[in-house]
């Protein structure tokens, strides 16, 4: 009798799902430093994120990302100088995303929390040694999926190293393996 009761509870709480539970996101993108300084600034992002869907609306994952950013300053005439900085952040974040629907176009919001490994150097510095730090950080995000295509906008709060902020805004485009419809 107790086995039958357990089966009834499990069956009653089970949800019918539309999507396969496992997927891996692969994304590339553009990064720009948040705040601070004039001149040309930007960089590149590469990210991999395996995920598991608890149901059709909630996924949990582990984001592993590398972002490299460069900022060059301009002089009064508008020419680039040898002044500026170079920053790199690697991150390992536990993530969660909430999808608003189960259609083929799926907007989502999410966030990640975890560890950022940061390195930065001032190009005008003569020491040659980059400032490094390991910081706890977080990254709120929003975007959408269409088919196996994914795009997102993320604010990465990665802390400071050597007095320079490692925070950056990421615009990512990518695709995912797995996770499609049954």
42 lies in some domain: yes
85 lies in some domain: yes
Supply 77's token pair: 């005439």
Residue 13: the pLDDT is 45
What distance in Å separates the CA atoms of residue 118 and residue 55, rounded to the nearest whole number?
Answer: 34
The answer to whether 80 touches 93, Cβ cutoff 8 Å, is no
54 lies in some domain: yes
25 lies in some domain: yes
152 lies in some domain: yes
Examine the pLDDT at 12 and tell me if it is beyond 70. no
Give the closest residue to 42 by CA, choosing from 56, 50, 53, 31. Answer: 31
Radius of gyration of the chain (CA): 21
Examine the pLDDT at 35 and tell me if it is beyond 80. no
56 lies in some domain: yes
pLDDT band at 116 (very low <50, low <70, confident <90, very high): very high
2 lies in some domain: no
Q: What's the per-residue H, E or C state across the chain?
A: CHHHHHHHHHHHHCCCCCECCEEEEEEEEEEEECCCCCCEEEEEEEEEEEEEECCCCEEEEEEEEEEEEEEEEECCCCCEEEEEEEEEEEEEEEEEEEECCCCCEEEEEEEEEEEEEEEEEECCCCCCCCEEEEEEEEEEEEEEEECCEEEEEEEEECCEECCEECCEEEEEEEEEEECCEC
13 lies in some domain: no
Examine the pLDDT at 139 and tell me if it is beyond 90. yes
* Longest Cα–Cα distance in the chain: 85
Tell me what percent of the residues of the chain surpass a pLDDT of 90: 61
pLDDT band at 10 (very low <50, low <70, confident <90, very high): very low
Examine the pLDDT at 126 and tell me if it is beyond 90. no
- Parent domain of 33: 18-178
Supply 90's token pair: 């690697």
**Per-residue pLDDT reduced to its tens digit, 49-104:** 999 999 999 999 999 999 999 888 778 887 877 788 888 999 999 999 999 999 99
The model scores a pTM over 0.85: no
Give the closest residue to 161 by CA, choosing from 128, 134, 126, 125. Answer: 134
Q: What is the CATH number of the domain that holds 137?
A: 2.40.160.20
Examine the pLDDT at 16 and tell me if it is beyond 80. no
Into how many domains does the chain fold? 1
What distance in Å separates the CA atoms of residue 136 and residue 114, rounded to the nearest whole number?
Answer: 6
Neighbours of 140 (CB within 10 A): 14
Higher-scoring residue by pLDDT: 11, 152: 152
């Amino acid at each position: 009798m107790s086995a039958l009761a357990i089966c009834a509870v499990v069956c009653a709480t089970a949800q019918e799902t539309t999507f396969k539970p496992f997927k891996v996101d692969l994304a590339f993108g553009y990064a720009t430093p948040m705040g601070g300084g004039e001149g040309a600034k930007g960089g590149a992002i590469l990210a991999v994120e395996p995920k598991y869907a608890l149901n059709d609306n909630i996924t949990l994952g582990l984001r592993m990302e590398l972002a490299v950013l460069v900022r060059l300053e301009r002089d009064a005439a508008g020419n680039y100088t040898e002044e500026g900085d170079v920053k790199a952040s690697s991150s390992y974040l536990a993530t969660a995303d909430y999808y608003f629907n189960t259609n083929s176009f799926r907007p989502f919001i999410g966030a990640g929390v975890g560890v950022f490994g940061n390195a930065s150097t001032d190009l005008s510095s003569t020491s040659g040694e980059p400032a490094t730090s390991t910081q706890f950080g977080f990254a709120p995000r929003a975007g959408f999926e269409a088919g196996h295509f994914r795009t997102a906008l993320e604010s990465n709060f990665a802390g400071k190293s050597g007095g320079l902020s490692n925070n950056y805004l990421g615009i990512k485009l990518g695709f995912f393996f797995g996770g499609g419809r049954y």
